Amino acid sequence: MSVEKFLFGKLGKSDIYSYIIKNHSGAFVEILDFGGRVRRIVVPDKNGELSNVVLGCDSPQGYLEPGHEYYGAVIGRCANRIRDGIYIYNNLLYVLSRNEGDNHIHGGRKGFHNMIWKCTGVEEDAVCFEAIQRHGTEGYPGNIKMSLTYRFGDDNLLTMSLMAQSDRDTICDRDTVANMTNHSYFNLNTEGSDAARHFLEIPADEYMPVDRSGIPTGEILDVSEVMDFRKPKRILTGLKAEKISEDLINRHGYDHNYVIKHDSFHMADAAILTCVESGRRLKISSNAPGLQFYSGNFLEPARTAVCLEPQYFPDAIHHSDDFYWNPQPILEAGLLTKFEARYEFSVISEEEIDRLTDLDDILDDLQL
């Protein structure tokens, strides 16, 4: 195992550094201090060939371009959307920036994705960072300190651990929203290929329908045929119903939160993404209650990658009185919260490839 540091480029007068964590097989991940983001994950396919499976840019300036700003980044203070860019907590009204129409998304323009994180330590298989966001940034109350660790091992397991620390004297003196995630875009096949051909499995019985702006309607519904990924199926199978399914019409495809569990304490499986063409498989687990699945509807070209983002339920702060929207993404002053996500990469057997291919043929015959 080894970690190497390189100068990636400049943003204004600031140097941007890249950290590559490489295991003994030659697989590696590349992390940038700008946005605490994952730039590359290079892992083997069924033939042992190494290639990158996430979207990234060739320069720091690339991440400033519209549509690229969230590639691989740490998202916060609040991942996903907050309706109308406002919320009330403890009888106080907080007005946030509106950076997506009338709504607030991903912590605003000055969210953690646009910050340069300070490297605080390097181990043989890990890199650690921290970032501090001040009271009032994008309208959020309180100072908040984030500690971030990426760890990558010989088993091709990437672990992201993110700690939000709240301390009355030195770090955070007010209750605030804390809902973090990583926003990597995955394509387990070749770059630019159709990621909708991937098989996806999400162990969730319920999901949250959304309106045309991506805000949850307030309902939590049982998964329908189109929204049901409890058994693996190609993403494309559901997208075939885009023109007749209101769920998919509103966002031109999948852009929905799935209910994984109703706590944020224990780790649980959240998704399995498989590409039969390359033989690669990605298994995601986290301690977050929800999983946002985005099928890359607005990428150019569309659906050349997908996002699977463990997080609290979107717009949950507006549903604090509803038991089914718990837990709430609130970090109380003086306390600490931890987000962890694990991304396990592997290669499936030829038998598994054949099984999934046969399953796909059956679903096509049934027109599901």
**pLDDT one digit per residue (tens) for the chain, 368 residues:** 999 999 999 999 999 999 999 999 999 999 999 999 999 999 999 999 999 999 999 999 999 999 999 999 999 999 999 999 999 988 889 999 999 999 999 999 999 999 999 999 999 999 999 999 999 999 999 889 999 999 999 999 999 999 987 543 333 457 888 899 999 999 999 889 999 999 999 999 999 999 999 999 999 999 988 999 999 999 999 888 766 677 788 888 999 999 998 876 789 999 999 999 999 999 999 999 999 999 999 999 999 999 999 999 999 999 988 888 888 998 888 788 899 999 999 999 988 888 888 776 666 555 54
CB under 8 Å to 363, separation ≥6 — which residues? 233, 234, 237
Let me know if 309 is a catalytic residue: yes
Give me the amino acid identity at 147. Answer: S
Active-site hit among 113, 138, 309, 318: 309
pLDDT at residue 365, rounded to an integer: 54
Active-site hit among 104, 183, 198, 256: 183
CB under 8 Å to 163, separation ≥6 — which residues? 146, 147, 148, 336, 337, 338, 339
Terminal C-alpha separation, the chain: 45
The Cβ of residue 8 has, within 10 Å, a number of other Cβ atoms equal to: 20
CATH architecture for segment(s) 2-366: Distorted Sandwich (2.70)
Provide the residue ranges of all domains of the chain, joining segments of one domain with +. Answer: 2-366
Query: At which residue do the structure tokens 């609290």 appear?
Result: 312
- Strand 157-165 and strand 336-347: the pairing is antiparallel
Q: Which of 187, 160, 162 is nearest to 51 (CA)?
A: 187
